[in-house]
A and B are shown apart, each in its own frame.
Chain A
Amino acid sequence: MSAPLLEVTDLVTTFPADGSRAAVVDGVSIHLEAGEVLALVGESGCGKSMTALSILRLVPRPGRIESGRIELAGRDVGALSVNEMRRVRGAEAAMIFQEPMTSLNPVQAAGDQVVEAIRLHERVSAADARARTVELFERVGIPDPESRFDAYPHQLSGGIKQRVMVAMALSMSPKLLIADEPTTALDVTIQAQILELLREVRDRIGMGILLITHDLGVVNELADRITVMYAGQVAEEGTREDVLARPRHPYTQGLLASIPSRARPGEPLAEIAGVVPSPGRFPSGCRFATRCFRVIDRCRSEAPEATRIGEKHRAWCHVVAAEEGKA
């Protein structure tokens, strides 16, 4: 069996806090096959973005990856030299970000930024790179690509900018695309278009996508599998049906219940009481214990291990463990 596209094992990424270091990603494991879309879901601050950045070794100073193993198509990412890593970024694995407004260099033309992405990895003439870029623009659905090439970011709308980002990311036909909240800053109609674009690309070149989002609607549209994160750790993971239709972890259940469209008219919106604990101030035991509506004594003292529920479905919860007959 060939190696999975992405295999992250027990990743720990820390940041300084109050004199020592706090883990914002605390023992996270992720598995992604080629051609699959894995959605990494959770509230703001749960560590999903940091997990993504860690995969490409883009964790901003003063943060750093403390431990864990990251394998991209069988290669140990942590063991790569700086130069090798540079060659991986943008070519084998690419990333697009949340804020198209600020993610593009404001003093560089849109087309030139994509050309740069190409010429960093391949020896092509400027003319060839330009031609390829224009073609890419067309494929990602940018109207009038020739003139858009010379436009500056401030002259483009959010939707077009995000498409430019996608073009940039796809320019070297990467095996893995990490999309960090690609649609959060966009209008709903544009959102749908970008998602459609991603789906199309996935179908066409069999690219694996790690989709970071807190928007369950997006998850529903695109994801094959889902991993739910809370406070730096994985709470539940499974296929789309597993997690959306049959959630077992109280946090996941709470998340799904709090979707406004699920509310019944006249009744108050469901919510999860309390706030996410900040890194460095995590409680011992299960981190969700303070807000969990199914909490038992064991939750406060012992961190839960994984409980297998289905073929690809696991949850980290003592109550679920009990339900599944495990001690």
Chain B
Amino acid sequence: MIGYALRRLLYGFLVVQGVLGLLFVLFFLYAEPMDMARRAVGEKAPPAVLKLWIQEHGYDRPWTDQLRDHYVRMLSFDFGRSDADEVPIARRLREGVGPSLSFTVPTFALGLVLGVALSLFVAYFRETYIDRTGVVIAVLAMSVSILLYIIGSQYLIGKILNWFPISGFDPDPRVLPRFVAMPILIGVVAGIGGDLRFYRTVFVEETSRDYVRTARAKGCGDGRVMAFHVLRNALIPILTRVVTAIPFLFTGSLLIESFFGIPGLGAVTVEAIQGNDFSTLRVMVFIGALAFILFQIVTDFTYTLVDPRVRLE
């Protein structure tokens, strides 16, 4: 078990190297130091000032130096400052995590519970009109672009019904719910279609298995069959999907944060994109990849808890 963990971590580390390399290539290819300087300092700045900026940020050094610097700093989590406004990136990260989590976690939890419950229900009634209707609704929901959900809800709720503020954020727990209600609602509704389809497929497959027949034959009620037998066996694919989604809780949703004015990590990323702020973008992508790799390893280990047939060697 320890050996396996070490090996996976080592491989994960190698992958991280690969990710960093790829990132460097992408950003090095694109980075035009003069452009970056102009954007940061100002279009009309004199060349001398621009050159100074480039020097200060190290964008004029040979690429080998920049490469080594890139690796060393990323791996030591020395993120430096944003190209756009000189704010330390690490501080941005710290400040952005809270707001992001404040809506991604409820969205995730609610989406999971709702998705699994609805899918169990629909899968139990498979082949009947309940099932068919559920699937059709799921496909309809999936086919609407998230943009439309956002725009539609902002218009509906904001302009017409005026239940919640259209955008804005206040970490005060007394008013926070009002600001994150819409984002959570959108997040859940936009995702429920895809979730339902996925979970339903898994449950339907499990429900048709022999051990379910045995359970019924020994007197298990349908509720217990679905909630205990089927669910427990369906956990592996579900777990994979769930754990893989966790990294995204932190990176936030770019669109939702940008639309609803939530100052989370997603908003940071969007600003970085629009401002061509490489330092920040680089860090965001790196963090995302790191979290993903870590949680992949975590997933493997949770398998052993859930399925006695899985033995990691």
Seen from chain A, the residues whose Cβ lies within 8 Å of a Cβ on chain B are 56, 58, 60-62, 82-83, 86-91, 94-95, 97, 99, 102-108, 116-117, 120-121, 152, 154, 165, 168-169
Q: Confirm or deny: B56 has a beta carbon within 8 angstroms of a beta carbon on chain A.
A: no
A61 near B126 (CB under 8 angstroms)? yes
B219 near A104 (CB under 8 angstroms)? no
**What are the residues of chain B within 8 A of A89 when measuring CB–CB?**
216-219
**B218 interface neighbour in A82, A107, A116, Cβ under 8 Å:** A116
What are 14 A-B residue pairs whose CB atoms fall within 8 Å in the complex? A56-B217, A61-B126, A82-B222, A86-B220, A86-B221, A95-B217, A99-B210, A103-B211, A105-B214, A105-B232, A106-B233, A106-B307, A107-B235, A165-B214
* Complex Cα–Cα for A82 and B220 (A): 11
- Closest-CB distance, B236 to chain A (whole angstroms): 9
**A106 interface neighbour in B128, B208, B211, Cβ under 8 Å:** B211
B211 near A117 (CB under 8 angstroms)? no
* Complex Cα–Cα for A25 and B285 (A): 62
* Complex Cα–Cα for A105 and B218 (A): 13
For chain B, the count of residues having a C-beta within 8 Å of the partner chain is 25
User: Which 7 pairs between the two chains have the least Cβ-Cβ distance?
Assistant: A90-B219, A90-B218, A102-B210, A117-B218, A95-B217, A89-B219, A105-B211
* Complex Cα–Cα for A165 and B126 (A): 28
B128 near A61 (CB under 8 angstroms)? yes
* Complex Cα–Cα for A61 and B123 (A): 12
- Closest-CB distance, B126 to chain A (whole angstroms): 7
Residue in A91, A105, A116, A165 with the greatest tally of chain B CB atoms within 10 Å:
A105
Given contact pairs A86-B219, A105-B215, a sample of 7 additional A-B residue pairs in the complex whose CB atoms are under 8 Å apart: A88-B219, A89-B217, A99-B210, A105-B233, A106-B308, A106-B309, A107-B308
**What are the residues of chain A within 8 A of B306 when measuring CB–CB?**
107
Residue of B nearest to A117 (CB): B218
**What are the residues of chain A within 8 A of B44 when measuring CB–CB?**
none
* Complex Cα–Cα for A94 and B216 (A): 10
Seen from chain B, the residues whose Cβ lies within 8 Å of a Cβ on chain A are 126-128, 208-211, 213-222, 229, 232-233, 235, 306-309
* Complex Cα–Cα for A104 and B232 (A): 13
- Closest-CB distance, B313 to chain A (whole angstroms): 16
* Complex Cα–Cα for A106 and B209 (A): 11
- Closest-CB distance, A174 to chain B (whole angstroms): 10
* Complex Cα–Cα for A88 and B306 (A): 32
A61 near B217 (CB under 8 angstroms)? no
* Complex Cα–Cα for A162 and B233 (A): 21
* Complex Cα–Cα for A58 and B216 (A): 7
* Complex Cα–Cα for A40 and B211 (A): 23
**What are the residues of chain B within 8 A of A152 when measuring CB–CB?**
308-309
**B213 interface neighbour in A58, A61, A62, A108, Cβ under 8 Å:** A58
B220 near A120 (CB under 8 angstroms)? yes
B208 near A60 (CB under 8 angstroms)? yes
Given the contacts A56-B217, A86-B221, A120-B218, A107 and B307 also touching, CB distance less than 8 Å: yes
**What are the residues of chain A within 8 A of B221 when measuring CB–CB?**
82-83, 86
**What are the residues of chain A within 8 A of B215 when measuring CB–CB?**
105
- Closest-CB distance, A320 to chain B (whole angstroms): 37
- Closest-CB distance, B133 to chain A (whole angstroms): 16
B233 near A87 (CB under 8 angstroms)? no
A169 near B218 (CB under 8 angstroms)? yes
* Complex Cα–Cα for A90 and B127 (A): 27
* Complex Cα–Cα for A70 and B222 (A): 22
Residue of A nearest to B209 (CB): A102
**B214 interface neighbour in A82, A83, A87, A103, Cβ under 8 Å:** A103
B127 near A61 (CB under 8 angstroms)? yes
* Complex Cα–Cα for A95 and B219 (A): 10
B218 near A154 (CB under 8 angstroms)? no
**What are the residues of chain B within 8 A of A82 when measuring CB–CB?**
221-222
A117 near B219 (CB under 8 angstroms)? yes
Residue of A nearest to B208 (CB): A60
Residue of B nearest to A171 (CB): B218
**What are the residues of chain B within 8 A of A105 when measuring CB–CB?**
211, 214-215, 229, 232-233
**What are the residues of chain A within 8 A of B307 when measuring CB–CB?**
106-107
Residue of B nearest to A169 (CB): B218
**What are the residues of chain A within 8 A of B126 when measuring CB–CB?**
61
- Closest-CB distance, B108 to chain A (whole angstroms): 25
**What are the residues of chain A within 8 A of B220 when measuring CB–CB?**
86, 116, 120
**What are the residues of chain A within 8 A of B222 when measuring CB–CB?**
82
Residue of B nearest to A85 (CB): B219
**What are the residues of chain B within 8 A of A108 when measuring CB–CB?**
229, 232
* Complex Cα–Cα for A57 and B208 (A): 16
**What are the residues of chain B within 8 A of A165 when measuring CB–CB?**
214
A104 near B218 (CB under 8 angstroms)? no
Given the contacts A61-B128, A105-B229, A120 and B219 also touching, CB distance less than 8 Å: yes
Given the contacts A91-B219, A120-B218, A154 and B209 also touching, CB distance less than 8 Å: no
**What are the residues of chain B within 8 A of A168 when measuring CB–CB?**
214, 218
* Complex Cα–Cα for A82 and B232 (A): 24
* Complex Cα–Cα for A154 and B217 (A): 21
**What are the residues of chain A within 8 A of B218 when measuring CB–CB?**
89-90, 94, 116-117, 120, 168-169
Residue of B nearest to A98 (CB): B210
Residue of A nearest to B215 (CB): A105
**What are the residues of chain A within 8 A of B213 when measuring CB–CB?**
58, 60, 97, 103
Residue in B221, B233, B235 with the greatest tally of chain A CB atoms within 10 Å:
B221
